[in-house]
Structure 1
Amino acid sequence: MTFLPEARCSDPGCTDATRAVPAPFAEPRARLTAQRGTRRLQLSPKYGNGLREVDVSYAWHGAAGAPTVIVQGGISADRDVTALAGEAVSGWWHELVGEGAAIDLRHCRVLAIDWLTPAQLGTGSISSEDQADALVVLLAELRITRAYAFVGSSYGAMVGLAFASRHPLQVERLVLLAGAHRAHPLSTAQRSVQRGIVRLGQASGNVDEALALSRQLAITTYRGSAEFGRRFAGAPEFREDRFHFPVEDYLVHQGRRFVERFDADRFLALSESIDLHDVAPEQVPTPTTLIGFPSDRLVPLADLCELQRRLRGPATLEVVESPYGHDAFLKEPEQLAPLLREALA
């Protein structure tokens, strides 16, 4: 691994400057840096014609001069994977990424982007390959010769496979959680119903209500049966002229929260992108650690077993028992931490 000097955010295409954050370590190179910005890059979209200019928003946190680890999550995740001291946003994976965490910012720099959308590319649809290409071009812009690892969860795991398939020399290893080489047809069916609800809402002028309802349906696929059975087994309550079941208030809350931070077009595009994803495992030579959950109904363990068998490079499959289904990659930091440490060692 070649350690390159830290890239400063000084060109016209970058909106935020690098800032150094002091850390209590004896070694000078343990100084932590945080860079958040936007770079204007040129991409050739899979579903478009020719080069397009697109603004890619990213965050790059960690020890100055250390190797870079790409970390990407599901379609609702953003570049705020973690945060350094003094930052208000904690990050969607802060329990596993940070100083002294499984992905230790004292020894690496974590790079993440906000997912691109068709509106940004000027296309009708966006692919996992487009997201992967954006990351590769961003690496070049940041003067990173090669990523030490790509750690991807859910949609991020799909993008990781597309990355290694198209740009195998740009990454040393993959760590993929709850994501496979293609979407399972039953999961595609569930997502297509969700997209149908949102489109119906757009046509009828009830976009927020439709997006919230679609999210409620999605939540029932993200979590495991055991968790729902444990949390929502109580009796219904009669109020507002009808019975309300214990799970309903939870789902309504989840739908409302989603509408506050997501928009319908973005959801439709990224949901579709999951179902368009299709990577031939035989084209991925990169050493890979797969992590799956038996309770995951969106990405069945059988699909990860098939992926492991077909990958061209060496691959291991770690199975983690959890009641949380697909969301176990967010809910099981204590079980995942040692697996991530070992995979990145």
Structure 2
Amino acid sequence: MSFLQPLSMPDLTGTDIRVDIPDEFRLQSGQKLEQTDVVARLYGPADGRVVVAAGGISAGRILFAKEDSTDTAPGWWEGVAGPGEALDLNRFRVLSIEFAPRLPASQVYTITTHDQARLVKLILDHLEVAHVFAFIGASYGAMIGLAFAELYPDYIDRVCCISAAHRAHPMATAMRGLQRRLLKFGLDTGREQEGISLARQLAMTTYRSEAEFSERFDGPAPDWAGENYTVCGYLRARGDAYASNANRWISMSDSLDRHRVDPAKIKAKVFLAAVPTDRLVPYSDMQTLHETLRDSVFIDFPSLYGHDAFLKEIRLVSDIVRTSLND
């Protein structure tokens, strides 16, 4: 099934695409997804070169929302994607993907970045896309981009990989493992939302840098033990406001930690943007990936914001994306 409409002019609000998942489709784990279709959003002119875009695990398919559209929330990459922006929706045919499993997830799935790449390929095949010009990804989306380039080496020309490497670092796995325990504890005790809040609070300490926290939260102690320090109040507010589903988060978090690609199997040209303050994806891991790829460009991406730099440093990210798309 598809809701694809022929586009003669650039579509800046996007068109949703729904493609049935074949009944025989199984994850690498052998599990079958409960969802029966996979969803994405298509932007831009019908004759534009095809670019796939994917962000972190909280990103959805809404990449760019035109100001007068009916979308209730902005896209996850406003300022980077849009008409005349680095990911120019006047020039490129952009497919922005929705990760599986879909919310709400009634169970935990063992799903890999390669599984996500295979789901992206289902959509591209449905659209009869003969070749992908570029896969632009940040964080989890960049992991999927690398997995896609490994699975389909002759199908894609370029990968723009922001804050992701060929593997999950054990320290990142340690921190995410604690988050999963909090989520499971919340489920087991009937306090799912509290577990989600605590896991999100812990996650926020890994998304940002020590330097940013020092600049923003180096304030006085509260009057009494047990009261919130300034930084703790910030984390609690962020955690309590986070809307998610524990099963889906456990699935996605585990997927991050299962990520492994063989750089030797990637033929595409890869643009690697590494943030020195990133606590989840060490700068050294991205340097190692650069050294083992057959064709890559290493881009130093300085930022106070650590792993979240791809969401905060719009000008710098735009420069990186623009560089990766230039002929």
TM over 0.5: yes
SS of 1:174's partner is strand
How far, CA to CA, are the matches of 1:215 and 1:133 in structure 2? 28
The residue correspondences of 1:1-345 to structure 2 (distance < 5 A) are: 13-14=1-2, 16=3, 18=5, 34-42=14-22, 43-48=25-30, 54-87=36-69, 88=71, 89-117=73-101, 124-238=109-223, 242-258=226-242, 260=243, 262-312=244-294, 314-345=295-326
Q: Give the direction of change, closer, same or farther, for the CA distance of 1:51–1:325 in structure 2 (3 Å limit).
A: closer
Residue identity in the other structure for 1:277: H
1:145: how far off? 1.2
Aligned to 1:25: none
How far, CA to CA, are the matches of 1:325 and 1:148 in structure 2? 29
1:220-247 deviation digits (Å, cap 9, x = unpaired) = 00001111000001113337x8432111
How far, CA to CA, are the matches of 2:228 and 2:28 in structure 1? 46
Relative to structure 2, which stretch is displaced further, 175-184 or 332-341?
A: 332-341
1:334: how far off? 1.0
- Structure 1 contact 34–84 (Cα < 8 Å) conserved: no
1:63: how far off? 2.1
Percent identity between the aligned chains? Answer: 35
Residue identity in the other structure for 2:301: V
- Structure 1 contact 295–323 (Cα < 8 Å) conserved: yes
Q: Give the direction of change, closer, same or farther, for the CA distance of 1:30–1:215 in structure 2 (3 Å limit).
A: closer
Residue identity in the other structure for 2:56: G
1:335: how far off? 1.3
Residue identity in the other structure for 2:233: D
- Structure 2 contact 16–40 (Cα < 8 Å) conserved: yes
For structure 1, the residue ranges without an aligned partner over 5 or more in a row are 1-12, 21-27
How far, CA to CA, are the matches of 2:108 and 2:221 in structure 1? 46
Relative to structure 2, which stretch is displaced further, 127-136 or 117-126?
A: 117-126
TM-score (norm 2): 0.92
How far, CA to CA, are the matches of 2:246 and 2:11 in structure 1? 41
- Structure 1 contact 281–310 (Cα < 8 Å) conserved: yes
SS of 1:244's partner is coil
SS of 2:144's partner is helix
For structure 2, the residue ranges without an aligned partner over 5 or more in a row are none
How far, CA to CA, are the matches of 2:169 and 2:79 in structure 1? 29
- Structure 1 contact 29–65 (Cα < 8 Å) conserved: no
Aligned to 1:4: none
How far, CA to CA, are the matches of 1:31 and 1:209 in structure 2? 40
Higher relative contact order (CA 8 A, sep 6+): 2
SS of 1:148's partner is strand
- Structure 2 contact 111–251 (Cα < 8 Å) conserved: yes
- Structure 2 contact 273–298 (Cα < 8 Å) conserved: yes
- Structure 2 contact 107–247 (Cα < 8 Å) conserved: no
How far, CA to CA, are the matches of 1:224 and 1:244 in structure 2? 20
Aligned residues: 321
TM-score (norm 1): 0.87
How far, CA to CA, are the matches of 1:122 and 1:249 in structure 2? 32
